Every structure is written in structure tokens, then in C-alpha cells.
Structure 1
Amino acid sequence: MMFRQSAGMTSARDARVLFSLAGIVGVIVFVIDALTPLDIAIAVLYVVVVLLVASTGLRHATVATACACAALTVIAFLMSHDENYSGGSIARGIVSLLAIGTTSFLALRNQANTVRLQEQIQLLNLTHDAIVAYDMSDRITFWNQGAEELYGWKADQAIGQRIHELTRTSSSIPLDALRDEVVRKGRWEGELERVRSDGSTVIVSSRFALWRDDKGKPRAILATNNDITMRKRMEAELQRQQEDLRAIIDAIPGMVWSSSRDGELSYINRRWNELGITLTGGSGDVWTSIVHPDDWPAMHAAWRGAIATGKPFENVARIRQSNGSYRWMHIGADPLRDQNGQILRWYGVNTDIEERKQAEQALERSEAFLSDAQRLSRTGSIATRLPAGEMWWSDEVYRIFEYAPDYTPGIELVLARTHPDDIALVREAYESALSGAPYIDNEHRLQMPDGRIKYVHYVAHLAVPRSDSIEYVGALMDVTERQLAQDALDRSTAELAHVTRVTMLGELAASIAHEVTQPLAAIVTAGDAATRWLNRAKPDLGEVGQSINQMVRDAKRASDVIRQIRSMAQKRDPSQAVLDLNGIVRESIELVRRELDAARVELEACYAEPPPLVCGDRVQLQQVVINLVMNGVQAMTGMTGRARRMRIATSVVDGHHGQVAIEDSGTGISEENVGRLFNAFFTTKADGMGMGLSICRSIVEAHGGRIWAESEEGQGATMQFVLPIDKGTCDEQ
């Protein structure tokens, strides 16, 4: 019998109709059976009443109706016969009762079967699967609630429709071939694409089972369908993500790989293929074929150790490239563990670090070169971060301060080695850095634990500032030898300047003698005059007083000349004082006045007002002026045909410097010699030593000034120098 879906229990309205119809039929049968003389088994028609009531599905009503019909049959039999019962009448009555009983029994059994079938249908409706039965012509005979939910059609809409037309079934194989395979094998499993009632597409996993009748003839197909649309979408998305992940892994500039728990390679990305490496052979062969022979033993031991302990693996080795060259790579791997902590597999990546390795090697060479250069030049590097006060010192800085390398750098260590007299200078420089000064330049002394003195020069500049700190990058130079050499040079220069001054005094002996004898002669004359005024009959004391005052002035003048000569001849250290630059020039002119007159030089002196005040040593500056004046006089010696003129002028330039210019009308200086004029041992004189102008430059530069010459050959020369105007700081120096 073909499996068909019923409508279930009769509705209440239909049941009332059936009950009414059964009552009418029952009354008619009873009337005919009881009141008519018909001698037939009319009561057999009570089976119609039983069947009508049984069709409602109500078991109790069916039993009650069967009993009522049996009772009516007996009552009708008694009413229609007298006391004489014929055998035929009794037989017909018994037949009617048997018919009623048999019909009732069959109806009750059919109801029980219907209930069981209905329960089975309800069980089928409880499943989430869509269960559909259809005959061999594809017409639907059963459509459960799962099918309604999956496809959207109600059972009464679907039953009788052709399944593949209703759902517009699509399959990877033709539907006729699919049906033939079901008939041939009796079952089929696969995926189908169908269209729901709302037009949306679903993908279902279908399982077909063929039902044959007792003769083996195919009668129907039972199909169980599961909606796998979401699963297929997720599988497609997962596949896409896997493809994306594989593409990303292949795009990674590294050799990505995975291996089993025992280290056997199971996956490599495209970067390996670019090196001509595949997994056709064992992983051990792969590693040994690409790792540099010198690096393989250490890497192999580290890899086996990581597998044994389960710890992450890291190693650096050289990997062979497709062209046969080797590049440094960082090889790292981490284990994937299950919920019990057991290693499932290893994931690793080989990262090319060739450039980093070369940079590290270059950095090591650079650091070695820098360390050697710093040691040879005695210059160390210092980085400072403020306001935290963190410092970083190079090795040479530790050597300069004579600290062990394990000391933590800091300003306290610097101050501990600073000379007590220079601590204020160091603190001032540190405070300037705290305030964000762009440049720090400081020279100070260090006092070592054994009493030795070192001279250091520290310079630093502000690095790119960050929001939360200030960083300085600087250099500390040990200038002890330079300072000692400079001190020795200064002493030698002072000695040479002293010798030069003494020599110059010898050259100026005539002028000096004239400057001394002139006031002495004036003293003698004034003394004679005073004597004559006293020897008169009536002494003229007024005239005597004037003569005595004249004698005092001349004596002071002679004393000043001798003092200047002694100062220039005296060997002593330079002394700084605020000096009137005009006065320096006047005193110098007086000392060379005799030579100027002897050479018949017309002198013109122009002085700035107010006079420029400079900070310097009087004797040394006089030496510079006298030397320049004497050079001008000598340049005009032997010149004929034109006047010998010299102009000496003082002035203030740019508001910050006092200038002295000495211009002569001599033969001038050639362009070739102008640049060498102030070099040591350069001279254009046959009997010159070439030290005068060199000493002048040393003196001027030691005073913070500059000296130079301007000349056109044949047009005379101008020798000039500038010195800083004193700003009230001379006493501090």
C-alpha cells in the first residue's frame, strides 16, 4: 500500500454531520426492520451507522454506536415477530448481529491503526529534517512540518505536486540519472539546490530511499532533506578565508612552514618554492640541503632540544638561495597544543635578516672604529636625558674620568671628579641644559684621586626634543696634553715677546735716551734758573717756585719714561686691566717719537671720542702698536720723491670693538705676501727674523681680537687690529 498523508482526526463540524447522518440512517433502519413485514436482514444496514460513527475517529462513540445498533436489532426482531420464531428469522438476526460486531471490530482496529499512523506522523513532524514522500511520477504523497518550514509550502499545497517542478530542483547530475541511480541502488545521498516558496535558494543534503511493494515493483521514494545552506556558505567563506590566508602567507617575505610534533615538515609556503624546495623528500633532507654546513650542527641540536622540551625554538643560520649564495635568516617556531597541553604541530617562519646582519656587522666595525678613534683622539661620547638626569657614557669617557665600567653614569660622578674651583662652572652648564639651552660648551679641570689635574672640554647640542624629556648628545675631550702644550707655547711666546721687546728697546735706545735726557736737561736748566733767582739781591720766590714745579714735572716725565722702559724690559706674566686705547697709542708714539723724527715721517694721529676701553695687558698692547709703527717707518725708509706720511687712528666699529689703524705711504705689500705676513719666520727684510708680526698676531688673538693688513703694492699699507670693547667683565677675568 502506498504511503499517503491523511488529514488526521475529523473536525468537530464534520463529526456533528456524521453523527446526524448516522442517527438518521439508524432510525430508518430501525423503522424498516421493526415496523415493516420485510423478511430480510435489514439490520445488516446498521454497519453503515457504525462506519459513519467510526469515521469520526472516536473510539468510545464507535463502541457505543455498535452496542446501540446491536440493541436496536434485538428490539426490532422482538417487535416484528410473535412468539413463534422461525429458524430463518433467527438466522437473519444472528447474521445482522455478526455483521454489526464484525464491522465494529474492524472499524475499531482501523481506528487503532490510524492512531498509530497518526502518532508516527507526529513523530516525523517532530524532527527538524524535511521528510517528503513521492511516487514514481514524482508526485508528493507526504509532506511533513519540516518540509513546510524548509520550503515554505503547506502540506495541502504540496501534496499532489511534482516535487522537482515545485522546488525547481538543481543537481550536479541530471534528475533522470539521479532517479535511475535510486531505482538501481535503492538509495542515494547528495546535495541539491532548490527554490523556496519565497523565491530564495536553499542547498539541502538529501538522502533518498526507494520503497518497493511485495512484488518488488518501485512504488515510492522517501526523501530526507537537511538545510545546509548556512553550512555551505560557511564552508565557502572558510574556503575563501583559507585561500586568503594562504595568499597572505605566500605574500609574507619569509619562509613559513609547519611540521608534525616530531619535527617532520608538513607545509611550506611559496617562498620555499622560489628556492626550488618542495616536500617530495623528507624534511631532514630539506634542512640539511639549505642550511649552511657550519650552522647545521648547532641548529639541529637546538631544534631537537625544542622538540624534546616543547619550548619555542629560535635560531640564526645561513640559508642557501636558488643561486647558491647564502643569506642570514632568523628561524623561529612555536608549538600548537591541545587542551591537555600535548603538542599537535609546530608553526615556524624563517625571516631574512641579511641586511640586519650586515648592519650589525657594520655597526660592530663602526663601534670598533669609533672606540679606537675615541681612544686615539681621547674624545668620548655622552648622551644625557633630562630632567631625569640619565646618562650614557662611551668607554673613553670612563677612561677619562677613570671610573670602572660598572659605575652608573650620572652628574654626581662628574662632580666627584671636577676640580673644586670649577664645580660652579659644571653646575652652571648642567643648569643651562635643564633649561633647554640649544648648545653647551664648557671647559674645566678634573682632579683625580691621586691629585693629578686633567683638562677637559665638553660640548653638546640639543637633540630633537620629545614631549616628556630633553636629550643632549655631546662629546667630552681630554685636552690635558693640548692645554699643557698651549701653556708651554704661551710661555715660549711670552719669552719670545720679552726678547723681542728687549731687542726693540735696543733699537729704540736713541729715542729712549732722547726721551730721558730731554727732561733731565730741562731739570738742569730749571735748577740753574732757580739758583739765579735765589742769588738776586731780593730773591724772587715766585719765579723760584715756578722753576721748582718745572723740575718736578720733568722729573715725573723722566720717571714715566723709565717706568715704561722697565715694564717692557721686565719679564712677567700678562696682567689684565681696563685700558684706554687712545692712551696706549699716545704712550707708544712717545716711545718712537725719535725714530719718527729721524726718518722725517709726518705723523697724523686721530683719536676716537669717547676713547674705546678694552681689557688687556698694557705692555703687550704697546708692543703691538710700536711694532706696527716701526714696520711702517722701515717701509718708508729709502723712499724718495714723495712725502713720508703716517696716520694712526683709533675708532669704534660695530659698537663692540675698538680699532687701531696704522697707515703708511711706503712701498706697500705684494698680493703674494699679504696672506703670509703674520706667519712665523716670514720676513721681507734681509736682516729680519720674521717674528715681530707673528708675535703681534698671537698677542691680539690672545686678547680676543683680530689683526690684518690691507695694501696695494706701491700705494702704502694699512696695518690694523680690533679688540673687544670691555663690557664691565674685565675684573672677572
Structure 2
Amino acid sequence: MSDLNGRRAAVKDPLVDASGASPAARNSAPAAAGARGAASRASAASGHAAAASRRAAASHVACPIVAPAGDALPDDARSHASAARQDSPQNKLPRMGIAFAIAAAIFLVDALTTLDIAIAVLYVVVVLIVAPICSRRSMLAVCCALMALTVIAFVMSHSDIDMVPPIGRCIVSLAAIGISGFLTLKNIAATDVLREHVALLDLTSDALIVYDMKRRIRFWNSGAHALYGVSAEQALGRSPHEVLQTAFPLPLADMLAELRRTGRWEGELTQTCRDGRELIVASRWTLQRDLQDKPLAVLVTNNDITQRRRMEIEIQRQQQEIRAAIDAIPAMVWVSSTDGRPVFVNQRWSELGLPLEQIGENWHTLVHPDDLPQMKSDWSHALATGAPFENESRMRGGDGAYRWVLLRATPLTDDDGHIVRWYGVTVDIEERKRAAEALARSESFLAEAETLSETGSIGFSVPRFEMFWSKQAFRIFGYPDTVEPSLRAMLARVHPDDHARVSALMKAAGASSADTDRDIEAEFRLTMPGGAVKQVHLVAHAVDAGHEASEFRGALMDVTEARNVQDALHRSLAELAHVTRVTMLGELSASIAHEVSQPIAAIMTNGDAGMRWLDRDEPQLNEVRAALSNMLRDAQRAGGIVQRIRTLAKKSAPNRAPFDLNALIDESALLIQREIGIHAIELDLQLTDDGLTIIGDRVQLQQVVINLMMNAIQAMAAIAGQPRRLTVRSSFSQDDGARVDVVDSGPGIAEADLQRLFQPFFTTRVEGMGMGLSICRSIVESHGGKIRACSEPGCGATISFVLPNSTREEKREPVAVGHT
């Protein structure tokens, strides 16, 4: 700007004096007659030549900037600018010809005439003509040649004795030529420097534009051409805002007012290139004033900041997105300086009830008093050592309640390892804390429950069989906690008699690793180091563990005591069932006696008849043989009755074997035949034609059938005036099991009594013990069946039981494996 302002000063210097004369010319004394007059005129001509030289130099300096004539410049400056524009290379030869012609004419006039004037002073015009096209060396040669011509013309034209006046005129001419040449050389040197500066300005990448106060472009550098795509020829003389379609951030009048007031204006403008692209430029305007402080021109410097502005906008957008993301994080993010003072907190901190700008100085007031000392200690240690910070404390929320939070922070260091920032996050862990406490309580309860119930947790992956045991499982297996759980350690404790079955079970579990619906259930024995034997029950369910593997998770129960109690219970139930059967036989003694007495009476009758046939004069052996056959048949019949009674009364271990359920119902009906007759019961046996073969203990199931039929007979004993009907029906159930229904026409069972009908010691009879139906339920369920009762008051009752068919019988084994 200083160079440009200097050039503008150079433009204005010759315009200060409107007359165009130099101070030396204005101060020259009036010329006298003779030589003094000639010298005076020569001096004036030299002064005019010097002023003209300065104006020409000034016009050359201003030429690159104020190429077109502008109304802002004086007329003589515009004329010199026009003259300067003609000094182009194509005008060089004509200019030299004109200068040569004028020089020759001056020489001829000066040499061939005897005019008493300093004609050689006119050589100054030649100097001025060739000045724009000559270098410094060429100009020096021209001046020397012109001085030589002056001397030659002087010698040729003056041979008088009185040589003083001509010599004076010659000296004046030589001085005029020398002075004008010297000034011209000085102007050429200054012009070359200024042209170099202007060329440098033209090389800059910034757009430099100069326009006058009528907003007409006077200068347009190559940077502007490259930036906007508009050449100098297209821009000069036009309004810059018209050429660039400038969009102003403020009214243009306000911007120009500020420019006139301060001399400068800076801001960002949106301008349009020739190809239609919009640019954002950083524009700086500088106002140039003349010596009278009047505005002369405006220098505009524009820098393309489109990419930078777009990047700033993108960075700002990203910063906003990052800030929004940080604010959206379900945690309290914070940044602190190297001394630990918070310098940034995200929006989540507002949930604590303090304005965000106050948290930096008052964060410690949010911490629970009991937790604050430890937090300060941990934070001070982190600041002193640079180690990551972590602390769990309670902080007060906006509702005044304290919640557990986890604070973590990591330092950011520079290249030298010095900490420049701490970045931290505070996470609400109240729910996690409560969950952890609940989990700890649950684990404690589980451990106590496992200990009390003698049940351990066990899990293993397949097919690798990586195992997990709980503490109770270690105790069940008899291993210390230091032993690594493994299948080998488990099988080492399995009883030898169960080892093969348990190994096969685990092998089958490993083979079906892809089946996540598989359940396993096993009951086996363990042999302890001291020789003690435990009975354990393993139940596990397969779950998907990913990566083409699965896990079995389950429980290992020590059922030794339970099995001992169960065995004792079974023995007690067997004793009770035997007592019940004996009691039932006592109740059926009359029927039994009647059944036995019939074949005995027949035996006696047949024996008496046989004796009579033998006492005849001619024994009738055939009749005797027939009587004996009848006796044997009746004896076998009586023996069968006695055998069945003995079987019912005999105390023996359960013996399960296949038998026909329909045949058992027929035999049971025979045993209570007398009771049916005494109570006038109509017995209706509706037995299925298809065989009902089941697997079970015949004696126990016959006890069930007889007990149900006797209960039905006793229920109908008190009714009168209506038929007493007992129906025993056998059929197949919906699941293909064997079903037996015992239906009576008695008064029925009350709804409240149905819920307790199969409970021990519950009875509706005064003389009953209440054990019959309870024992029936135990026997049926021990055979894998179900028993139930239904009744409508006044319409009788139905008691039904269902047993597995022989083809679908599932034996209750010590080890069982199944699918769900």
C-alpha cells in the first residue's frame, strides 16, 4: 500500500501547479536585451522542459493503474496518460523518426542561420519525444549526440570576433539539454522501479482492484482475472459491483460512509464469477486522498476464502454435532485444566440442579460429605502422578437425593508428555449399585439355600466339557475349592455300578451339542473317599452358548437323606397297605366264608354220593368217577379262593409283571359278591373287548379296585326307594392308557369334600379310618397313573384312575434321559 500510495503521489506532484511551470521557472527574472534576454529565454525553456519531463514521468508511473482516462484526474494528467498509452512498442519507430526529423531541422536552422537566439534549446523537445522509448544508456547517448550537434552548429554558424553572446547561448543550450537529459534519466530510473513494483502487484494471487470515486475500475490485476475469470479489458471502466454482482452484508451506503470516515473497511462479501460460481472473499478497502484530503480512489484487496469459510461452516457444523452428541450421551462429560478445575461440562450436568456455569467452582458441594474426602484424595493423586482417575461416590441430584456415580478421567498429553487437559465422564451407577447389592444378596441367599437344601449348581459346555461347580457342588463331590472342576473329577466319584451309565449319559449330551432343547436327568451314587455312599440327582437344561457350542446348566442335589426317608415312607406305606388289606379282608370275611363254603359243601355232597354209588351191590364206578371229578374241581375252586385271600393278606415286596386288567376286575367282583347281594346292588361290568394288559403289582391294583367298589357299595347302603346300581367300566383313555371308572348311584360327594377326598385320614363315614382312598392314590401314582373323583350331589359319584398301557409303560429307572 505504501508503494501504491507513493505512485499516486508521483501522479499528483505535476498536477499541483495548474499552470504547469516549475518553481524555478516561476522565479526566473525577466530577460534583458541581448544576451541576457536570450539566456533568460533559454532558462525559461529549460524550466518548461523539466516540468514537461516530470509530467511525462508521472504519466508513465500512473499508467498501469489508471489506464483509462478518468474524470477524477485533472485534464493535463489525462492528456499525459493518453500520451503515455501511445508509447507502445509498435509506436517506437515513428517516434524515433519524428525525433530524428526535429533534431535535423533544429540542427539545420541552428547551423545555417544567424538568428540571435538559443535555437539549440529546442533539442529538449527531442529529449522529451524519445524519453518514453529509451533506456538510460540510450538516453545518455541521445543527450551526448544532441550536445555534439549543438557544438557543431555553433562552430559552423559563428565566426565573428565578438563570440561572447553566441558562446553564452551555446552554454545555455547545452545546459538545457543536460538538465533535461538528467531529469529524464532520473525519471526513467524511477519509472523502472515503479513498473517493477506494479509488475509485482500484478503477480500477486490476491485480487487488486482500483476504482475512482465514481466507482469506475481504473486498475484490474492478473489476480483478479484469475479469481473471477474477467480480464482487465472487460473490467476497466465498469463498476466493480456490477462486474462481480456483489452481495453486501450491509447497505452499501453505510459501508462507503465508514470508508470515508475511517479510510478503511474490512469484511466478507459474496461475489459471482464469470462462470456463475459464487465466491466468499475477505475484502479490504483503502481510501486514497489527494493533497487537499479529497477522496481520489479506492484500493480493493480481495482474498478467496470460499473453501476456508466452507470448512469453517463444516467445522462449526461438526462441532455442533459433536456438542449435541456429547450432550446426548447418557453420562456427564467434563473437561478440566491441569490444576483440576473444570472448564467444560455437557448439558447432562444441569440435571444436578446447578447452572452449568456454576458447576466449575461448586462441584464439591454436590458430593456426599462422607465420600468427598476420598474423592479429593483420589483426584489429587491423579493430578500429581498423571495416572487415570477413577472413583465411586454419591452425588446429589436436582431432586436432592444422592445417587451413586462412577467418575473416570484420562489425561491428554502433548508431544513432551506434559498434561494439557483432563477428559472425564461421570456415569450414574445407582441402578448397577443396587443390582450389585441385590446380586450379592441373591448369591448369599443362593449359597445358604444350596447349603440348607444340599443342592449345588453345576454347568458344563459341550463338546469340550469345561465345567463349573458352586461351593455346595464341591462339598457334594467331596473336593476342596482348589480342585479344578472337570468331567474326570466328577466321574472319579461315581459309584462303579453307575459309572457306565453316567459316562454314557455325558457322552450322549456331548453328541447332541447342537440340540438346545435337550434336558438331562440322572440319579446315581457317589463313593466318597471314606467309603460313604451318596445318592445324587442331576438335572440340567441345554442353552445356546454361540460359536457352534452349547452349555448345560443345572443342579446337583444330594438326595441321600431324601431317598432314605422315601424308602422308609414306602415301607410304611406298604405296611399300611397290608394292614388295610387285612382290615378289608376282615370286612369281607362273611363273603369269603360264603365263597369258600360253597365248594366245600359241594365236595361233601359229591363225596356222599360217591359213597352211595360204591355201597350198591354193583358199584357204579362211572358215577363214582364223576363224583370224584366234581370233588377235585370244587377243591381247586376253594383252593383258588384261599390262595387269593392269602395273597391279599400276605406281606410281600411289590412285584410288577404284565397282567390283564379286565380279569382282575372280574376276580375282584367275585370277592365282593356277597356284599353285592346283601345290599341288593345291581352290578354292571362294562369291560372293553380289547385286552387291557398293563404292567404293575397285581395285588396292589386289586386292592385299589376292591376298595373303590366297596366304597361305592357303602355309599349306596343308606339310600332307599331307588335302584342301587354299581357300574365298573374299563376303556382306553385319550393318551392310549388303561382307564377304569367306578360309578355308583348314591347321594354323591359334596364339593368341599372333593378337594380333600384323597387326603390321609379324611372320611365321611363314622366308622372309617380315612386311609383307603389315600392308599389308592399312592398305589396309582406309584404306577405312573392318576386318580380323580367327580360328583354331582344326588346323582352319584365317579372315581376314575388311568394307568399306562403295557406298550407305553415308562419304567422308573435310577438314570433317565429325555427330551422336552
TM range (shorter): 0.7 to 0.9
Q: How does 1:188-267 map to 2 (within 5 A)?
A: 190-191=266-267, 193=269, 202-204=280-282, 206=284, 225=301, 227=303, 229-230=305-306, 231=308, 242=319, 249=326, 252=329, 254-267=331-344
User: What secondary structure does 1:318 align onto?
Assistant: strand
**Aligned-partner residue type, residue 346 of structure 1:** W
User: What secondary structure does 1:727 align onto?
Assistant: helix
| Contact kept in structure 2, 1:426 and 1:444, CA below 8 Å | no
* In 2, Cα distance between equivalents of 1:490 and 1:706: 18
Q: CA deviation at 1:615?
A: 1.0
Q: CA deviation at 1:112?
A: 2.1
Q: How does 1:112-511 map to 2 (within 5 A)?
A: 112-129=189-206, 145-146=222-223, 175-182=256-263, 190-191=266-267, 193=269, 202-204=280-282, 206=284, 225=301, 227=303, 229-230=305-306, 231=308, 242=319, 249=326, 252=329, 254-272=331-349, 275=352, 277=354, 286-322=362-398, 324-381=400-457, 389=465, 393-405=469-481, 414-419=490-495, 420-421=497-498, 422-423=501-502, 426-427=505-506, 430=509, 434-436=513-515, 438=517, 440=519, 442-449=521-528, 450-459=530-539, 468-470=548-550, 474-511=554-591
Q: Given the alignment of the two structures, is residue 650 of structure 1 paired with residue 730 of structure 2, yes or no?
A: yes
Aligned match of 1:57: 134
Deviation per CA, 1:365-389, whole angstroms, max 9, x where unpaired?
A: 3443444444444455556665565
* In 1, Cα distance between equivalents of 2:102 and 2:181: 16
Q: Given the alignment of the two structures, is residue 627 of structure 1 paired with residue 707 of structure 2, yes or no?
A: yes
Change (3 A) 1:112 1:483: same
Aligned match of 1:2: 10
Aligned match of 1:18: 95
Change (3 A) 1:340 1:656: same
**Aligned-partner residue type, residue 668 of structure 2:** S
Q: CA deviation at 1:613?
A: 0.6
**Aligned-partner residue type, residue 500 of structure 1:** T
Q: Give the structure-2-normalised TM-score.
A: 0.74
Q: Which runs of 5+ in 2 are unaligned?
A: 1-8, 12-60, 65-83, 814-820
* In 2, Cα distance between equivalents of 1:520 and 1:641: 37
User: What secondary structure does 1:586 align onto?
Assistant: helix
Change (3 A) 1:594 1:163: closer
| Contact kept in structure 2, 1:646 and 1:663, CA below 8 Å | yes
Change (3 A) 1:157 1:438: closer
Deviation per CA, 1:332-388, whole angstroms, max 9, x where unpaired?
A: 222122122210122223233333333333333344344444444445555666556
* In 2, Cα distance between equivalents of 1:487 and 1:22: 147
Q: CA deviation at 1:714?
A: 5.6
Q: CA deviation at 1:658?
A: 1.9
Q: CA deviation at 1:14?
A: 1.7
Change (3 A) 1:19 1:553: farther
Alignment equivalent of 1:721, drawn from 787, 791, 801: 801
Change (3 A) 1:441 1:537: farther
Which deviates more, 563-572 or 626-635?
626-635
| Contact kept in structure 2, 1:171 and 1:192, CA below 8 Å | no
User: What secondary structure does 2:580 align onto?
Assistant: helix
Aligned match of 2:782: 702
| Contact kept in structure 2, 1:519 and 1:554, CA below 8 Å | yes
| Contact kept in structure 1, 2:457 and 2:469, CA below 8 Å | yes
* In 1, Cα distance between equivalents of 2:242 and 2:514: 89
Q: CA deviation at 1:235?
A: 5.1
Q: CA deviation at 1:632?
A: 3.6
Aligned match of 1:576: 656
**Aligned-partner residue type, residue 304 of structure 1:** S
Which deviates more, 268-277 or 342-351?
268-277
Q: Give the structure-1-normalised TM-score.
A: 0.82
Change (3 A) 1:67 1:197: farther
**Aligned-partner residue type, residue 770 of structure 2:** G
Change (3 A) 1:112 1:604: closer
Change (3 A) 1:346 1:577: same
**Aligned-partner residue type, residue 62 of structure 2:** Q
User: What secondary structure does 2:807 align onto?
Assistant: coil
By relative contact order (CA 8 Å, sep 6+), the higher-ranking structure is 2
Change (3 A) 1:497 1:424: farther
* In 2, Cα distance between equivalents of 1:541 and 1:77: 211
**Aligned-partner residue type, residue 2 of structure 1:** A
| Contact kept in structure 1, 2:394 and 2:404, CA below 8 Å | yes
| Contact kept in structure 2, 1:44 and 1:99, CA below 8 Å | yes
**Aligned-partner residue type, residue 10 of structure 2:** M
Q: CA deviation at 1:629?
A: 3.0
**Aligned-partner residue type, residue 24 of structure 1:** A
* In 2, Cα distance between equivalents of 1:160 and 1:629: 130
Change (3 A) 1:273 1:670: closer
| Residues matched between the structures, number | 725
* In 1, Cα distance between equivalents of 2:349 and 2:680: 99
| Contact kept in structure 2, 1:579 and 1:614, CA below 8 Å | yes
* In 2, Cα distance between equivalents of 1:595 and 1:280: 100
Change (3 A) 1:146 1:583: same
| Contact kept in structure 2, 1:258 and 1:348, CA below 8 Å | yes
Please tell me the root mean square deviation across aligned C-alpha atoms, in Å: 4.6
**Aligned-partner residue type, residue 655 of structure 2:** S
| Contact kept in structure 2, 1:458 and 1:475, CA below 8 Å | yes
**Aligned-partner residue type, residue 348 of structure 1:** G
* In 2, Cα distance between equivalents of 1:527 and 1:197: 145
| Contact kept in structure 2, 1:429 and 1:440, CA below 8 Å | no
Which deviates more, 406-415 or 572-581?
406-415
| Contact kept in structure 1, 2:260 and 2:287, CA below 8 Å | no
Change (3 A) 1:253 1:282: closer
Change (3 A) 1:47 1:581: same
Deviation per CA, 1:596-628, whole angstroms, max 9, x where unpaired?
A: 455555544343212211111111112222223
| Contact kept in structure 2, 1:265 and 1:279, CA below 8 Å | no
Deviation per CA, 1:454-505, whole angstroms, max 9, x where unpaired?
A: 4445555566886855466645544444333222221111001112222333
| Contact kept in structure 2, 1:2 and 1:220, CA below 8 Å | no
Deviation per CA, 1:11-36, whole angstroms, max 9, x where unpaired?
A: 32021221232233334344445556
* In 2, Cα distance between equivalents of 1:647 and 1:544: 43
Q: CA deviation at 1:424?
A: 5.9
Change (3 A) 1:109 1:721: closer
